[in-house]
């Protein structure tokens, strides 16, 4: 008898991932050779918003994450299109002067890369499409999800009903799956927006990422290929609205004043887009037969460019726990297994979230005691080689346990 697609899949032991963004696709790529049947449900085919012919959304991919993306076969598709970060300069417009981090000081060739999000997603999709074990359902969405004792039943909008021992929510900060599971969040809106755009400066960026802390929020200039830069200008809501409403010429003038002369004259600005910024943590990142990863589990301020790096580490640790559980014939959707994932991820998640909150607070509140603390802290970091090296290696994700190669 000919089996229908629906009944075939119902018998499979697999995994369903809701959300085919950078984090959901990392999980799929990490598990592609494990024999598991993976279904990724993505509701939209992403259309990048272009700015001077570049995706206006970029991500700083730190050195540790580059290693992960290499291990899952994604990095070869990205490396020639990514701007290397060989150094980083941080300064404020008040007192402490500036601090510089060089890749060499941490014994590295590079601190990381700036990658357009659409390039990273296309690279991941190359790997996904080349795998027989991954089904890419896009555009598609889930109509309902029902938790049962031994499985989760998922109804798709194409009429199919899939069952799985484990469903993973990688569906972003407003996670649909998280709300279906009635999981609340701790959420803090910064009352800031991040303005992004591509900029053509007069002088070479020399592969340096610049970050200037302004009283209204941090401004980052990130090195792309071909001498272009991508900016993330975080500003309080009213200021961000004002900056977004300016003409290109007026915006460039304001940007020039905010950055100063480090890159000569800023010659051209591409189309701008603005994103509200928040810090958010899901009160539970696991439930029986469900795990949340990436922004569905946590969102952080983009000032250090760590959000997707954190999510990619979630995906890799979850992949490793699934593989280990199968090796020992454990039920990988069980709470015991998922709790192991949760326990190994929370220290990293809380450290990055706490660090970003503290940094943003320290630099946007001009209370005298705080300003002294900030200046003293920056001087200690700037003048102490070991502290600086330790901070750099931590920020690059190099001090964390590396998930074993999943296979
Ligand atoms: C201005 C700005 C700059 C940033 N810069 C950096 C940086 O330099 N470095 C860094 O590490 N991080 C950065 N981040 C953070 C980073 O963008 C996020 O952490 C990252 O995009 C999270 O990836 P994700 O896959 O978890 O979620 P998302 O990118 O939000 O992807 C979720 C996916 O799920 C899909 N989806 C949603 N609901 C459903 C549903 N019901 N059914 C099916 N599919 C669904 C969506 O269409 C989407 O494709 C920045 C963020 C901002 C706002």
Q: What is the pLDDT of residue 24?
A: 98
Residue 275 three-state SS: strand
112: Cβ below 6 Å to ligand 1? no
- The H or E element spanning position 277 is strand 273-282
- Where is pLDDT greater, at 218 or 202? 202
User: Inter-axis angle of helices 22-30 and 307-327, to 10 degrees?
Assistant: 30
User: What confidence tens digit (pLDDT) does each residue in 131-183 have?
Assistant: 999 999 999 999 999 999 999 999 999 999 999 999 999 999 999 999 999 99
Rounded to the nearest angstrom, the distance between the alpha carbon of 296 and the centre of ligand 1 is: 9
Cβ–ligand 1 contact at 41 (below 6 Å): yes
C-alpha to C-alpha distance for 170 and 311, rounded to whole angstroms: 9
Find the range with the poorest average confidence among 91-100, 103-112, 123-132, 151-160. Answer: 91-100
CA-CA distance, 147 to 287, in Å (whole number)?
A: 10
Per the CB < 8 A criterion, the answer to whether 136 and 274 are in contact is no
For the chain, percent of residues with pLDDT exceeding 70: 89
Return the pLDDT at 7: 40
Residue 4 has pLDDT above 50, yes or no: no
From the CB of 403, is ligand 1 less than 6 Å away?
no
Mutate to test the pocket of ligand 1, among 62, 69, 172 (most ligand atoms within 8 A of CB): 172
- DSSP element (H, E) containing 361: helix 335-364
- pLDDT recorded at residue 78: 98
Domain ranges of the chain: 5-186+278-395
| Cβ of 64 below 6 Å from ligand 1 | no
Higher pLDDT, 396 or 27: 27
Tell me what the mean pLDDT of segment 378-397 comes to: 71
Please tell me the predicted confidence (pLDDT) of residue 8.
44
Ligand 1 centre from 172 Cα, in Å?
5
Superfamily of domain 5-186+278-395, CATH level 4: FAD/NAD(P)-binding domain (3.50.50.60)
Q: Ligand 1 in contact with 65 (CB < 6 A)?
A: no
Least confidently predicted of 65-69, 148-152, 339-343, 360-364: 360-364
d(CA 308, ligand 1 centre) in Å: 7
Q: At what angle do helices 368-383 and 335-364 cross, to 10 degrees?
A: 110
Ligand 1 atom showing the smallest separation from residue 196 Cα: 1
pLDDT at 166: 98
- Give start and end residues of each alpha helix (H) in 82-205: 117-129, 176-180
**Looking at the whole model, is its pTM more than 0.75?**
yes
pLDDT at position 405 is 58
Between 107 and 360, the higher pLDDT residue: 107
> 320-324 long-range CB contacts below 8 Å, 24 or more apart?
320/403, 320/404, 320/406, 322/15, 322/31, 322/34, 322/36, 322/166, 323/31, 323/34, 323/406, 323/407
pLDDT per position as a tens digit, 13-58: 799 999 999 999 999 999 999 999 999 999 998 899 999 999 999 9
Q: What angle do CA 47, 53, 57 make, to 5 degrees?
A: 55
* Mean pLDDT for the chain overall: 90
Stronger pLDDT, 381 or 309, i.e. the higher one: 309
Q: Which residue's CA is the nearest one to ligand 1's atom 9? A: 305
Given pLDDT bands bounded at 50, 70 and 90, which one contains residue 108?
Answer: confident
Q: Contact 30/316 with Cβ under 8 angstroms?
A: yes
């Amino acid at each position: 008898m000919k089996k229908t697609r629906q009944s075939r899949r119902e018998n499979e032991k697999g995994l369903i991932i809701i959300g085919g963004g950078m984090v959901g696709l990392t999980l799929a790529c990490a598990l592609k050779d494990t024999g598991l049947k993976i279904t990724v449900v993505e509701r939209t085919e992403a259309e990048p918003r272009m700015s001077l012919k570049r995706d206006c959304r970029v991500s700083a991919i730190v050195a540790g994450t580059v290693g992960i993306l290499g291990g899952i076969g994604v990095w070869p598709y990205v490396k020639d299109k990514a701007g290397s970060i060989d150094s980083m300069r941080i300064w404020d417009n008040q007192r402490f002067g500036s601090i510089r981090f060089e890749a060499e000081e941490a014994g590295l060739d590079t601190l990381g890369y700036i990658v357009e999000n659409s390039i990273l997603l296309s690279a991941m999709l190359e790997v996904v499409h080349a795998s027989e074990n991954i089904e890419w359902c896009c555009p598609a969405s889930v109509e309902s999800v029902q938790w049962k004792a031994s499985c989760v039943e998922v109804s798709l909008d194409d009429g199919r009903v899939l069952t799985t021992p484990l469903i993973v929510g990688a569906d972003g900060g407003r996670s649909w799956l998280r709300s279906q599971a009635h999981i609340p969040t701790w959420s803090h809106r910064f009352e800031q927006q991040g303005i992004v755009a591509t900029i053509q400066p007069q002088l070479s960026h020399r592969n340096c990422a610049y970050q200037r802390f302004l009283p209204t929020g941090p401004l980052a200039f990130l090195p792309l290929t071909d001498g272009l830069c991508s900016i993330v200008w975080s500003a309080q809501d009213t200021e961000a609205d004002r900056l977004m409403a300016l003409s290109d010429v007026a915006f460039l003038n304001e940007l020039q004043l905010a950055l100063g002369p480090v890159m000569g004259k800023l010659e051209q600005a591409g189309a701008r887009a603005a994103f509200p910024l928040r810090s958010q943590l899901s009160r539970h990142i696991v439930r029986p037969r469900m795990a949340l990863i990436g922004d569905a589990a946590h969102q952080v301020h983009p000032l250090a460019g760590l959000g997707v790096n954190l999510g990619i580490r979630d995906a890799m640790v979850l992949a490793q726990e699934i593989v280990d559980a199968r090796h020992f014939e454990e039920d990988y959707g069980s709470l015991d297994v998922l709790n192991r994932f949760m326990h190994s991820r929370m220290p990293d998640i809380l450290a990055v979230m706490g660090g970003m909150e503290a940094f943003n607070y320290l630099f946007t509140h001009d209370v005298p005691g705080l300003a002294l603390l900030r200046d003293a802290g920056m001087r200690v970091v700037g003048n102490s080689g070991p502290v600086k090296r330790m901070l750099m290696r931590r920020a690059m994700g190099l001090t964390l346990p590396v998930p074993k190669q999943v296979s």
